[in-house]
Amino acid sequence: MTGATITLIGGPTTLIEINGCRFLTDPTFDPPGTYQPYPGKSVTFDKTTGPSMTIEQIGSLDVVLLSHDHHFDNLDSAGRTILPAVKTTFTTMSGQERLGGNALGLAPFETKTFEGPGGRRLLITGTPARHGPVGIEPYSGDVIGFLLGEEEEGDAIYVTGDTVWYEGTAEVARRYSPKVVIVFAGAAEPRGRFQMTMDSNDALAAAHAFPNAKILAVHNEGWKHNTESADDLASVFNSLGVGDRLLPLLRGEPLKIEW
């Protein structure tokens, strides 16, 4: 029997330990506060909680799975200091150009083989993502999700990245059967009334599209622009009789999932 251990650090930042390898999604480690990270722009990010673990407490890492590098709630100042220390930072093609160094861009449905400690192999596949409604791309920029595979592409874990549920994510469900789906939820509304990450309806669509997967939700706490909490999402799943599909993921507490 194999499996993975998943620990929510905070926001979108999650430690995934699988097949002897240690992956970190979207590193955000700055303390709570109001940030204006983009010179000349009025955009602010209000962070309400800090990480549940420090960079030092997490320890050595093999890979960073970075859905996009240009939004502060997915890669902040402290998070950037992690990137040079890992073997590879998988991200978007445009992110590879901006970051340089060990950054490796993936196109949707492109797969790379990663060899971890002891020669253990994992397959890493890029997945399509759309960070908001139709037409958002010129404003939100490129975003990507990731599939982790042990024996076959996408047979273990799907990390959606910052995306809503749309035809691109539905295509992932048609092609792959992961054991675990980590949705970036929270119904983020940084400006206007449109959502840039999954809301409860989107998460339910994901649960329906991946009927054999356990569903975990991240990126639904820690930032003021999140409009749905983990409790909100759990309430919806319970109300519709599918509460057993959504596993509770508590900050700083490792969750072991076997398959």
pLDDT digits (tens, 9 = 90+) for 86-105: 999 999 999 999 999 999 99
Least confident of 2-6, 133-137, 141-145: 133-137
Output the pLDDT for position 187: 95
* pLDDT surpassing 80 at residue 155: yes
E strands, 144-222, in order? 144-149, 157-159, 180-184, 214-218
Q: For the residues 110-127, what does the mean pLDDT come to?
A: 93
Residue 2 pLDDT > 80? yes
Give the pLDDT score at 43. Answer: 82
**Buried b vs exposed e over 220-233: b needs ≥16 C-beta within 10 Å?**
bbbbebbebebebb
Average of pLDDT values for 141-152? 96
Checking if the pLDDT of 136 tops 90, the result is no
State the DSSP H helix or E strand holding residue 121, giving kind and residue range, or none if neither: strand 121-128
The pLDDT-based confidence of 122 (bands split at 50, 70, 90) is very high
The model's pLDDT over 8-60, given as tens digits with 9 standing for 90+, comes to: 999 999 999 999 999 999 999 999 999 998 888 788 889 999 999 999 999 99
66-99 residues labelled b (16+ CB within 10 A) or e (exposed) = bbbbbbbbbbbebbeebbeebebbbbbbbbbeeb
CA distance 59 to 98: 26
Average pLDDT estimate for 182-198: 88
* C-alpha Rg value of the chain to the nearest Å: 17
Question: Which architecture, in CATH terms, is 3-241?
Answer: 4-Layer Sandwich (3.60)
pLDDT computed for residue 192 by the predictor: 66
Question: Residue 213: which region, alpha, beta or left (left: phi > 0; alpha: psi -120 to 50)?
Answer: beta
Percent pLDDT > 70 in the chain is 99
Instruction: Please give the distance of CA 34 from its chain centroid, rounded to a whole number.
Output: 22
**What is the per-residue pLDDT for 117?**
83
pTM: 0.96
Confidence of residue 209 (pLDDT cuts 50, 70, 90): very high
pLDDT at 107 (0 to 100): 98
The region, left, alpha or beta by phi > 0 then psi within -120 to 50, assigned to residue 201 is alpha
**Domain residue limits, the chain:** 3-241
